[in-house]
Amino acid sequence: MKKKYETPLLDELEKGPWPSFVTEMKKAAQKSDIANDGLGQLEKSFRTKRGYWKHGGIVGVLGYGGGVIGRYSSLPEEFPGVAHNHTVRINQPSGWFYTTKALREICDIWDKYGSGLTNLHGSTGDLVLLGTRTENLEAIFAEYSSRGWDLGGSGSAMRTPSCCVGPARCEWANIDTLDITYTLTQEFQDELHRPAFPYKFKIKTAGCAVDCVAAIARADLSIIGTWKGKIQIDQNEVQNYAKKGMNINAEIVNMCPTQCISYDGKTLKIDDAECSRCMHCIAKMTKALRPTGEKGATILVGSKAPIVVGSLLSWVIVPFIKAEPPYTELKALIHKIIEWWDENAKPRERIGEVIEIKGMRSFLEYIGVPPHPAQIKFPRKDPFIFFKDEDFEKVYKKGKY
């Protein structure tokens, strides 16, 4: 295909050492009208400092309410190739592992029906196919689904769950993030494909508190691996770190948030009872330190980006839960959480916002989780309390107070 547009501003972004998205768009433009006109419209955006896309209507595949994002150019006469420029979300495999055979298969289908441009990956985790026309959607879905690939979530629905690399390639994984993500994605297929929620609901699973998948900041339900036992210490390896120049007192002991580590130049000691399992020492001395004992997950709820009432980080709801197949307890808890949210939210309210409106108490009581000091930053700092009669009956009249 011929070069259709002069792109002097975008050409500037082919210079410099970092890989260029413009080069990628130009490669795709050699084969696709969509990519070619996309390039032309982008050059215009760079020239005029504004976008020219419209969010669009209801597009999708039969029987699904999500997985395709409708996008139209607001300049279809000028850039007919992108009159339609819909995005198709393909549900990625857990941990973003692929074989080259699978990737080639994905590419071959996409070249046939779309722009040849992708995002590996989108923000939620999906493999994003960037730019196709409405009339191609059914064919795209048939080609992918018959080969074992399903669409991801979009709109007011369960969004495609995602996870860190977990036990596949990380010594810190306390839970099988890949299996949990696969299992939960299968569990919520209906909720994922047919938007029936008040708003989006995201699940992310991280193997430890390092949280490489930003579960605590980017998921309505954050599952983060933790452990209950001691941190096992290999003193020889501690010495090796010291020999290699690590200042153990400055870098490890003094940076421990609970000050539960000591080091006398020979032996490293950890008071496990006071450890908050933050992962600092383990991450910095991975050869010397490793968690032992019972492994499981902390369940947190509510994080989101700023719209509507401001950003939220997830709150701890369940400090420790066993997370082993078939995940019966975990699944039941998630269903209960979603049920409460669905009952109480107005359209476009995320669960974190509804908890702020309705109160943590009503949420916890509904899902059957007792109050626990691990859930709070600190207790309330004023004595303005609305006492309920049941509180006297259940707690204060029992004789202890």
Partner 1 sequence: MALPQRKTDIGPPNYEQFLPPIIKKNYGKWKYHEELNGGTMVHVAESGDKLWTVRVASPRILSTDTIREISDIADKYCDGYLRFTSRNNIEFLVSNEKSLEPLQKELKQKGYTIGGIGNRVSNIVHTQGWVHCHGAATDASGLVKAIMDELFEYFTTKKLPNKVRLAVACCVNMCGAVHCSDIALVALHTKVPPIDHDRAGKICEIPTVIASCPTRAISPDPARKSVKINEEKCMYCGNCFTVCPAIEIHNPESDGIAIMVGGKVGSLRSNPKFSKLAIPFFYNEPPRWPKVVAAVKNILETYAKHARKHERVGEWIERIGWEKFFKLTGIEFTFVEKVLICSPDCHSCESRNPELIEFTRTGFPLKACGNDTYGYFRVFQQAVEIAPTY
Considering only residues 147-176, where is the footprint of partner 1 by CB under 8 A? 147-150, 160, 162, 164-165, 167-171, 173, 176
**Contact present, 10 and 40 (Cβ < 8 Å):** no
Q: Check residue 305 for interaction with partner 1 (CB under 8 A).
A: yes
Shortest spacing between CB 102 and partner 1, in angstroms = 7
Tell me, residue by residue from 90 to 109, as one string, x for binding to partner 1 by CB under 8 A and - for no binding. Answer: -xxxxxxxxxxxxxx-xx--
**Contact present, 367 and 301 (Cβ < 8 Å):** no
Shortest spacing between CB 302 and partner 1, in angstroms = 11
- CB-facing half-sphere around the CA of 322: CA atoms within 13 A: 8
The stretch near partner 1 (CB under 8 A) out of 208-216, 263-271, 320-328, 329-337 is 208-216
Shortest spacing between CB 279 and partner 1, in angstroms = 5
Measured CA to CA, the distance from residue 285 to residue 386 in angstroms comes to 49
Q: Check residue 118 for interaction with partner 1 (CB under 8 A).
A: yes
Residue of 5, 33, 53, 324 that binds partner 1 (CB under 8 A): 53
Measured CA to CA, the distance from residue 276 to residue 47 in angstroms comes to 52
Tell me, residue by residue from 223 to 262, as one string, x for binding to partner 1 by CB under 8 A and - for no binding. Answer: ---------------------------xx---xxx-----
Which CB, 96 or 366, lies closer to partner 1?
96
Q: 189: Cβ–Cβ under 8 A, 6 or more apart, which residues?
A: 150
Q: Check residue 401 for interaction with partner 1 (CB under 8 A).
A: no
Region 370-389 residues binding partner 1, contact defined as CB under 8 A: 371, 375-382, 384-387
Shortest spacing between CB 399 and partner 1, in angstroms = 21
Alpha carbon separation from 377 to 216, 316, 371, 373, 374 (Å, rounded): 15, 10, 13, 8, 8
| Residue carrying structure tokens 């994605």 | 185
Shortest spacing between CB 37 and partner 1, in angstroms = 13
Alpha carbon separation from 272 to 237, 250, 268, 297, 386 (Å, rounded): 19, 20, 12, 18, 39
Eight-state DSSP code of residue 84: B
Q: Check residue 293 for interaction with partner 1 (CB under 8 A).
A: no
Shortest spacing between CB 71 and partner 1, in angstroms = 6
Shortest spacing between CB 349 and partner 1, in angstroms = 8
Strand partners, 136: none
Q: Check residue 50 for interaction with partner 1 (CB under 8 A).
A: yes
The stretch near partner 1 (CB under 8 A) out of 138-146, 261-269, 327-335, 393-401 is 138-146
Region 16-45 residues binding partner 1, contact defined as CB under 8 A: 16-25, 27-28, 35, 38, 42, 45
Give the end-to-end CA distance of the chain in Å, rounded to a whole number: 82
Q: Check residue 75 for interaction with partner 1 (CB under 8 A).
A: no
Shortest spacing between CB 276 and partner 1, in angstroms = 8
Shortest spacing between CB 57 and partner 1, in angstroms = 10
Shortest spacing between CB 287 and partner 1, in angstroms = 4
Region 316-345 residues binding partner 1, contact defined as CB under 8 A: none
- Report the relative pairing of strands 268-270 and 221-227 from DSSP bridges: unpaired
Q: 351: Cβ–Cβ under 8 A, 6 or more apart, which residues?
A: 201, 220, 221, 301, 302, 337, 341, 345
**CA-wise closest residue to 47 among 78, 7, 16:** 7
**Residues that contact partner 1, how many (by CB under 8 A):** 151
Measured CA to CA, the distance from residue 163 to residue 224 in angstroms comes to 10
The stretch near partner 1 (CB under 8 A) out of 11-19, 260-268, 324-332, 393-401 is 11-19
Strand partners, 226: 296
Shortest spacing between CB 214 and partner 1, in angstroms = 5
**Contact present, 157 and 200 (Cβ < 8 Å):** yes
Burial class of residue 8 (count of CB atoms within 10 Å of its CB; 0-12, 13-18, 19+): exposed
Measured CA to CA, the distance from residue 14 to residue 26 in angstroms comes to 10
Q: Check residue 309 for interaction with partner 1 (CB under 8 A).
A: yes
Residue of 85, 132, 154, 156 that binds partner 1 (CB under 8 A): 85
Eight-state DSSP code of residue 284: H
The stretch near partner 1 (CB under 8 A) out of 7-15, 265-273, 319-327, 328-336 is 7-15
Continuous H helices in 172-285: 177-187, 189-193, 215-218, 235-243, 248, 280-284
